[in-house]
């Protein structure tokens, strides 16, 4: 058995929190590569994150990956490893400019997009009410305001067409699609996308990717 065959034969375990957008990003990358994995639930918000998990991820966040004897944490590192270590369609462009744009999209999302799109708009408009808690309208308004420049930056990249083009699935798509899926669950989030035609065109194709739809975690059941 060659090196690639041995790698494929080794067990892949993904540790994550069901509702974590970053956990879903890692699952999307694995799905796109055709890699099956065992999923171990870890709630990073719990007071008692197991010490055994902290041995894998010293900061107690999610996701983390175990592939055979190799362990790895940080989402961007995990998705790049998955792309490089397994057979299947390449998720990183070979052209230098497209690869650079992919890395730029991931950085924009992590640095400027995650908090307003997910932790403010989605969490307060959708997730908290699903848990039976009240959302904070001030947080939603702040999130929508901060989302504008992020969406505008992504619109320019989508319009350029090197990545986020609706044709080639890259790690940029895996990183962005779960964020937009959550953001557009809120009516005001979906409305915020309307002024951005290239990004909307990308989303119309990305939202039906099997790697996205088949990793949908749903929402918590509203308490009676």
Residue 2's pLDDT is what? 43
Residue % of the chain over a pLDDT of 90:
89
Q: Compute the chain's Rg from CA coordinates.
A: 18
Provide the whole-model pTM.
0.93
Instruction: Give the model confidence (pLDDT) of 53-86 as tens digits.
Output: 999 999 999 999 999 999 999 999 999 999 999 9
CB neighbour burial string for 198-212, b if at least 16 within 10 angstroms, e if fewer: bbbebbeebeebebb
Region 92-97: what's the mean pLDDT? 98
| Secondary structure in 3-state letters for the chain | CCHHHHHHHCCEEEEECCCCHHHHHHHHHHHHHCCCCEEEECCCCCCCCCHHHHCCCCCCCCCEEEECCEEEECHHHHHHHHHHHCCCCCCCCCCHHHHHHHHHHHHHHHHHHHHHHHHHHHHHHHHHHHCCCCCCHHHHHHHHHHHHHHHHHHHHHHHHCCCCCCCCCCHHHHHHHHHHHHHCCCHHHHHHHCCCHHHHHHHHHHCCCHHHHCCCCCCCCCCC
Whether 11 shows a pLDDT value over 90: the answer reads yes
Average pLDDT, the chain: 94
């Amino acid at each position: 058995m060659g090196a690639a065959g041995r790698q494929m034969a080794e067990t892949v375990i993904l540790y994550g929190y069901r509702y974590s957008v970053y956990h879903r990003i890692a699952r999307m990358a694995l799905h796109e590569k055709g890699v099956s994995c065992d999923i171990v639930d870890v709630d990073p918000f719990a007071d008692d994150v197991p010490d055994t998990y902290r041995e894998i991820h010293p900061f107690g966040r999610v996701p983390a990956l175990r592939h055979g004897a190799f362990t790895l944490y940080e989402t961007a590192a995990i998705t790049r490893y998955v792309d490089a270590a397994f057979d299947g369609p390449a998720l990183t462009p070979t052209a230098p400019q497209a690869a650079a744009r992919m890395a730029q999209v991931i950085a924009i999302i992590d640095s400027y997009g995650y908090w307003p799109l997910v932790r403010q708009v989605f969490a307060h408009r959708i997730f908290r009410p699903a848990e039976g808690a009240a959302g904070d309208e001030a947080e939603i308004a702040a999130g929508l305001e901060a989302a504008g420049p992020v969406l505008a930056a992504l619109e320019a990249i989508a319009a350029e067409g090197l990545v986020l083009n609706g044709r080639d699935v890259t790690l940029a798509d895996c990183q962005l699609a779960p964020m937009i899926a959550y953001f557009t669950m809120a009516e005001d989030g979906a409305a915020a996308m309307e002024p951005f035609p290239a990004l909307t065109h990308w989303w119309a194709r990305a939202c039906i990717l099997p790697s996205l739809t088949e990793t949908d975690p749903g929402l918590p059941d509203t308490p009676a």
